[in-house]
Structure 1
Amino acid sequence: MLKLDTPINLDAARFFRWWSGELSFLVPAKLRKLLGASSEYLILTKDDDGVNAVYHNDEENRPLGYFSMDESGSQKRERLIESMPTLAEAKTILRLTPGQCLRKTLKLPLAAEENLNQVAAFEMDRLTPFKSDQVYYSARMLERSPTNRQIKAELVLAPRNKLDALLEELAVWGWRPDVVDAAGDSPIGAYDLLPEQYRPPRNPWPYRINLALAALIASLLIALGVLPIWTNRSIALDLEQEVKKASKTAKEVESLRQQVEDLVHQTRFLQQKKRTEPAMVDMLKELTDVMPDQTWLNGLQYRDHRLVVQGQSPSASALIGLIEASPFFQNTSFVSPVTKDMASGLERFQIASEVVNGRFSEKPAATE
């Protein structure tokens, strides 16, 4: 069943590696070597007594023999290089046997994919018997599981003291690997445990070619940016003169427009003030009109459109409806509970209401 809600994880770096690999056969072999993209490998495996060498390229996987770690093995190596000049350009890879390195499969959170080697170094003492400063290590992702938000990765490591001793022994007899990998079903060069001090000098040609291409691209970008500006320079100068001529008129128009806006704002402010601010005389007159007979006011407070009245009435509950029916008042309610005055027999009340401008209220006035 097709799941359209499944997230798509695009590894751009892996895609371009695959893409360049598929197109590499179109590039001549000499040019591939010049660019440092040779597909010829001299694969070495080391045991206690010597080195087993295999030549590998896109077409064949040819065993070259066994070379002992002594003078005879060194002479045999020199004769091999003389008979196969292509080995001088091939990348030498030392593949560590299971007894020389440790491979471990890890399950890590999905977020660890971005910094896989850093996470492996941080968790090294928990995942292996070693600390990160005791080993050379490399990790690569094998599988991604977005549903479980986990990744499956493989960690390859070798103790520093053993690998350093192994590389020094190889160097004595002329073997200097470009990459230290791990034997197994992983692709050639998937891991690189080679310490920095043993790395051969890099081929300067890829850097020079990339630098030349970068300079060419920068020149083209500069030309694309400068040429239209230079071509239209005369037009820009003419337009600048026209803008200067029109700037004075534009300033005068802007000044007049600002004056008009100020006048309109002042007029609207007065109109709005008149519509929103209730007149105290109107409010007091309306309050007097809506209060029934036998109702007495002992106190009145007005602030920020809010009116609070205190008094006594034969029926305080009826006052809410009378006040609310007026176009001058809205949102009328008791502020405190109604109590009864034992001396007068009237109900004491405290009522609050929001005062509006009754002259402009859309609320219809109560009819008698």
Structure 2
Amino acid sequence: MLKLDTQVNLDVAKFFRWWGGELAFLIPERLRKILIRRRPRLFLRMAGEGVACTLIDETGAREMGEFLLDDAGSQQREALFSGNVELEDAEVILLLLPEQSLRKSMKLPFAAEENLMQVLAFEMDRLTPFKADQVYYAARVAERLNDTRQIKVEMVLTPRAKLDPLMEELTAAGWRPIRVDVGPEPLGYDLLPEKYRPPRNPLPQILNGVAAGIFLLLLGAVLLFPIAMNKGMVEQLQREMKATSKVAAEVESLKNDAEKLVHENGFLQRKKQNEPAMVDMLEEMTKVTPDQTWLNGLQYRDRKVVIQGQSPTASSLIERFEASPYFKNTSFVSPVTKDVASGQERFQIATEVVNGRIPEKAAE
């Protein structure tokens, strides 16, 4: 079952050591020896009044002899280094004997791993016969017990009262260990007091700072480049929208002008359809007026015409005008009278004039 709440612990240094080893495996052995050269290690162990030296390099382990911590021993040490050039680059490591150190295993909660050294300092008098300010100590997580949510911690320590005088003697005799480990075989701890630590080479820190700066620059470029591109795209879209808006405004103006022209043309068309033509009215009136009918007067206004005249049969004029598609609502304006002199009937008729060329319903 997958436990999502399990704490993830990543030893970065261990990972890179493993990764470097895997990459080194791909390099030919001869070239690997040239590129990846391991420094020899010179282990010091206390032996009586002096120290016993063991050199471990690519050829294996060699006993280099025992040296007293006095003037004679210092001269022997100088002779040893002069006769063995490889010792100039060797890492000098002091291995404490079991009687000079203490190893202890314990179990602590997961939460203690984050501040392991502080937790051990706080619990030192409970876990050991010493207080934290009386010892040099180092620790590491040996195992993680997920079932009980605990860590198994291995701690090594040595009393300051033992290590400080020993370091003074070694330094006075010319031995300057760069690390203090626990023996008889090295375990990888470091109990070296701070004042004896060699000054750190600033180059790695400078390189780390430069690498961090380059990383931040690249990260900034990765973060800012899309923003800059998006800004450019937004500006481009704004320009395109502005140009499109201008074109749209022109199209809208042309559309309005077209609608105005259509409306004006429609107005003229409707006027042409609705307004009767005078020529058509006069021609039609000539057709519907029977022979021997005389017109004495004609008035036209607002699509309405009033005619006056004499006719043998004035009453038939109403029917004739109504039958025409150019006239409607025809009626006598005044009573029909008899002209004594001519013997014909005098009439005055009013009628509405329409456009006979276009049906009235279509005109509407």
How would you bin the TM-score normalised by the shorter chain?
0.5 to 0.7
- TM-score by length of structure 1 reads 0.56
Cα deviation 1:281-329 (Å, max 9, x = unaligned)? xxxxxxxxxxxxxxxxxxxxxxxxxxxxxxxxxxxxxxxxxxxxxxxxx
What is the alpha-carbon distance in structure 1 between the residues aligned to residue 186 and residue 110 of structure 2? 22
- Is residue 81–residue 87 contact of structure 2 (8 Å, CA) maintained in 1? yes
Question: CA contact under 8 A between 2:95 and 2:186: conserved in structure 1?
Answer: no
Q: Any idea what SS the aligned residue of 2:74 has?
A: helix
Matched, 1:171 2:182: no
Structure 2 counterpart of 1:202? 200
Q: What SS is found at the alignment partner of 2:148? A: coil
Between 109-118 and 153-162, the greater mean CA deviation after superposition: 109-118
Determine the C-alpha separation between the residues in 1 that align with 2:226 and 2:115: 44
Cα distance in 1 for residues equivalent to 2:17 and 2:67:
34
- Matching residue of 1:118: 118
Q: Which amino acid aligns with 2:75?
A: Q
**Which of 10, 13, 23 in structure 2 is aligned with 1:12?**
10
Residue 91 (str. 1) matches residue 91 (str. 2): yes
* CA–CA distance in structure 2, aligned partners of residues 202 and 145 of structure 1: 36
In the other structure, the counterpart of 2:260 is none
Q: Secondary structure at the match of 1:12?
A: coil
Distance 1:238 1:43, change over 3 A: same
SS at match of 2:99: coil
Q: Aligned to 1:123, what secondary structure does the other structure show? A: helix
Unaligned runs of 5+ in 1: 248-368
Aligned to 1:212: 210
What SS is found at the alignment partner of 1:192?
Answer: coil
The number of aligned residues is 239
User: Aligned pair in 2 of structure 1 residues 153, 232: CA closer, same or farther (>3 Å)?
Assistant: closer
Judge conservation of contact 2:136–2:193 (CA < 8 Å) in 1: yes
Gap change, CA 1:235 and 1:104, over 3 Å in 2: closer
**Structure 2: unaligned runs, 5 residues or longer:** 246-364
**Matches of 1:236 and 1:114, distance apart in 2:** 47
In 1, the alpha carbon distance for the partners of 2:166 and 2:122 equals 26
CA distance in 2, matches of 1:45, 1:216: 45
| Closer/same/farther in 2, CA of residues 133 and 151 from structure 1, 3 Å limit | same
User: Which residue in the other structure is 2:330 paired with?
Assistant: none
Task: Give the drift of 1:29.
Answer: 6.3
Tell me if the contact between 2:39 and 2:89 (Cα under 8 Å) persists in the aligned partners: no
Contact 2:112 2:119 in 1 (8 A): yes
Matched residue type, 2:201: N
* Separation in structure 2 between the aligned mates of residue 46 and residue 140 of structure 1, nearest angstrom: 25
Please tell me the residue identity of whatever aligns with 2:168. Answer: E
Query: Residues 31 and 210 from structure 1, CA distance in 2 versus in 1: closer, same or farther, beyond 3 angstroms?
Result: farther
**Which residue number in structure 1 is paired with residue 60 of structure 2?**
60
Q: 1:94 to 1:17 in 2, by over 3 A?
A: same
Fraction of identical pairs, as percent: 47
Tell me the secondary structure at the aligned position of residue 177 of structure 1: coil
Structure 1 match to 2:348: none
* Separation in 2, partners of 1:6, 1:59: 47
Could you tell me how far 1:237 is from its partner in structure 2? Answer: 2.8
Partner of residue 144, structure 2:
144
What are the residue-to-residue correspondences of 1:1-368 with 2, within 5 Å?
Answer: 4=1, 11-13=9-11, 14-23=14-23, 26=27, 38-184=38-184, 187=187, 190-225=188-223, 235-241=233-239
Task: Call closer, same or farther: CA 1:123–1:225 in 2, change over 3 Å.
Answer: closer
Contact 2:39/2:57 (CA < 8 Å) preserved in 1? yes
Say which SS state the counterpart of residue 51 (structure 1) adopts. strand
Counterparts in 2 of 1:102 and 1:88: CA distance versus 1, 3 Å? same
- State the Cα deviation string for residues 217-239 of structure 1 (Å, max 9, x = none): 34444454556666776544333
CA separation of 1:104 and 1:224: change in aligned 2, threshold 3 A:
closer
What letter corresponds to residue 139 of structure 1 in structure 2? Answer: A
Q: In 2, distance between residues paired with 1:244 and 1:124?
A: 75
Residue range with higher mean Cα deviation, 107-116 or 41-50: 107-116
Shift, 1:141, TM fit:
2.1
**In 1, Cα distance between equivalents of 2:151 and 2:58:** 31
Q: What do the CA deviations read for 1:118-171 (whole angstroms, capped 9, x no partner)?
A: 221111101111100111111122222222333322211111122111111100
* Matched residue type, 1:148: T
* Secondary structure in 2 matching 1:162: helix
- 1:173 partner amino acid: A
Question: How far apart, CA to CA, are the structure 2 residues paired with 1:137 and 1:124?
Answer: 10
Give the aligned CA root-mean-square deviation in angstroms: 3.3
SS at 1:130 equivalent: coil
- Give distance in 2, aligned partners of 1:113 and 1:185: 26
2:324 match: none
Amino acid in the other structure paired with 2:68: S
Give me the whole-angstrom Cα distance separating, in 2, the residues matched to 1:10 and 1:231. 37
Distance 1:82 1:236, change over 3 A: farther
